[in-house]
Amino acid sequence: MSQGERLIVGLGNPEEDYADTRHNLGFACVRELARRLDVKIDRKRWQSLAGRSDERGVWFVLPQTYMNLSGEAVARALRDTKLTPEQLWVVHDELDLPLCRLRIKRGGSGAGHNGVLSIISSLGTPDFVRFRVGIGKPARKGSPAGRSYVLGRFTKAEAGRVPAIVDGVADALELALDAGIERAMDRFNRAGSLGCEELP
């Protein structure tokens, strides 16, 4: 049963050059959920690509503003759909979690993620749900976990786990839509893993 109207945003960067980078994992997860619900995310609206499931009452939005300006697109979408930040779910990559891990949380800081920080700034509130999808940090001690890492492509070992990660996050989103965000938090935050083996 649907839990009400929602705006589900996947964070990433436009252009083909960024398609398979760690920073675009949010795009991939939201696209997979839309595929399962037979929704095409191809409408150009709100400086984004968007699609809608009328049956589920869900908008899918992929901002095309580049990561640092994601908030502009999200704020436009919320205004136009007359939804509130409490009805917003944002799916994004997370340096502070290992690959194959998911944490769902409501509110809190942006933890240095430029896309999330942009949304908080544009909305004037941190009170929205985040699906934080782990990408881990550089394996070498002392390596900067910054721009070059998040904009880099997955290693061969990591790439083999990405399909399971995307499927797992889509499962979490579906459960949240069907049974509520608290149920999804209880199951996926407790389990920790998305069903793929973490890298040593």
Whole-number Å distance between alpha carbons of 167 and 163: 6
- Reduced to 3 states (helix: H, G, I; strand: E, B; else coil), residue 10 is strand
User: What is the radius of gyration, based on Cα positions, of the chain?
Assistant: 16
Question: How far is it, in rounded angstroms, from Cα 102 to Cα 89?
Answer: 14
Coil, helix or strand for 102?
Answer: strand
Query: Which stretches within 56-193 are classed as H helix?
Result: 70-81, 114-123, 147-150, 156-159, 162-179, 181-184, 190-191
Residue 118 token pair: 């942009």
SS3 45: strand
Catalytic choice (22, 23, 92, 132): 23
Assess whether 92 carries a catalytic annotation. Answer: no
Q: Tell me the catalytic residues.
A: 23
